[in-house]
Homo-oligomer: A and B are copies of this chain.
Amino acid sequence: MSLTRESCLALDAADPLRGFRDRFHLPPGVIYLDGNSLGPLPRDTPARVARLVEQEWGQGLIRSWNTAGWIDAPARLGDKIARLIGASPGEVLVADSTTVNLFKLLAGALALRPGRGTILSVEDNFPTDLYIADGLGRMLDGRARLRLVAPDAVEGAIDADTAVVMLTEIDYRTGRRFDMKRITAAAHQAGALALWDLAHSAGALPVDLAGSAADLAVGCGYKYLNGGPGAPAFLFVARRLQAEWRQPLTGWLGHDRPFDFAVDYRGAAGIRQNLVGTPPMLSLAALEAGVDLMLEADLSAIRVKSMALGDLFIALVDQELPATGLSLAAPRDAARRGSQVSLRHPEGYAIVQALIARGVIGDFRAPDIARFGFGPLYTSHADIWDAVAALRAVMAAAAWGDERFRRRAAVT
């Protein structure tokens, strides 16, 4: 029996998360399937940001570091995110960008594994993860080096020189999911640490850092946590590693007693040692609004709906778009997939642009991936129907051949 728009509407009517869609500002005429690049604006966020700007900054001025809880925000927000990723209070901190946090954690991991110099990862990892590991290796004059293998070869490649295995749980292009628990166990068996990038996991599916015995993690605030453009990132250091933990970005707010203004650095006990400079409070306020909204939802319901949206998208592509040259780049098995579906086509860039012109916003990832992300709190089943219908129209009209859609902008 074929799928119809009516059957999609029926799925929406039965969706236990349907009430969350109205908690977001979604512009009319837009089907937004790019929340894995920048999550949409929660309706509560503008007032939260305005309160920080007008009341806390404008009225409270410098006093708000104490009275409005600014100084505690990185750890408070870290504790909230911990609930989304299977971590405990005191194991997560909001700070800096994902890239800067990767530098801290990789350097800290190398210090915990003296005599080992390999950072093991995969070519498909997000480039910034690879770049920062490479930069760290160069800085250490060869004491550390990045080694890249194929995704299926990771477990077999962990050896006695591996200090840390660094992987992104969900591949940013294909949505393929690594088995965090199994790879972490393999790393531990070889005496290595496991560092997980949760950029496409946190808020998209339940992450179980504790159950996976993960050592270290980083993640992104502006994708599924809906924290706003360039929202601060987070980092996780398992409590069992914290006593011996040392990272090189020793800034004043990571000092045990920053307001003593002592000449010598003494790192704070616990996760706070990973704080560096003064946190950008406006951006933290928006992130906190996004995280608070996410905490209202049930993560297992999010995962169930996310898998259903992906399965529906794939089924509709199969049904509506046979023989168009589009091929599935994502795993068919929802359990092995994050909250996105990717399609390959040599004209992927122009196809994505033609879709955007019709109000369906996905994104393109080089060389040939059209990527569609699903935010289970706001994406409906009817959105999926409408997006595939737009894709069918683009392919039928060969709209991607239109010269307008073939010019590349700075950000795609």
Q: Which residues of A contact B (CB under 8 A)?
A: 25, 27, 30, 32, 34, 37-38, 40-41, 45-46, 49-50, 52-54, 56-59, 61-66, 70-72, 96-100, 103, 107, 123, 126-128, 130-132, 134-136, 138-141, 143, 148, 222, 228-233, 248-253, 255, 258-265, 276-286, 356, 361, 363, 365-366, 408-412
B-chain residues with CB within 8 Å of residue A261 when the two chains form the complex: 126-127, 365-366
Whether the pair A276, B410 counts as a contact (CB closer than 8 A) is no
B-chain residues with CB within 8 Å of residue A30 when the two chains form the complex: 61
In the complex, A412→B365 CA distance in Å? 48
In the complex, A382→B364 CA distance in Å? 59
A60 to chain B minimum Cβ distance, whole angstroms, is 8
Find A276's partner among B34, B71, B100, B250 (CB 8 Å cutoff). B100
Find A54's partner among B41, B52, B107, B280 (CB 8 Å cutoff). B41
A268 to chain B minimum Cβ distance, whole angstroms, is 12
In the complex, A46→B30 CA distance in Å? 27
In the complex, A356→B66 CA distance in Å? 14
B-chain residues with CB within 8 Å of residue A258 when the two chains form the complex: 127
In the complex, A408→B195 CA distance in Å? 39
Whether the pair A97, B130 counts as a contact (CB closer than 8 A) is no
21 A-B pairs, CB-CB below 8 angstroms? A37-B62, A38-B65, A41-B54, A49-B282, A50-B50, A62-B363, A65-B229, A65-B410, A70-B229, A71-B410, A71-B411, A96-B100, A99-B251, A128-B252, A134-B250, A135-B248, A135-B250, A136-B248, A230-B280, A259-B366, A280-B283
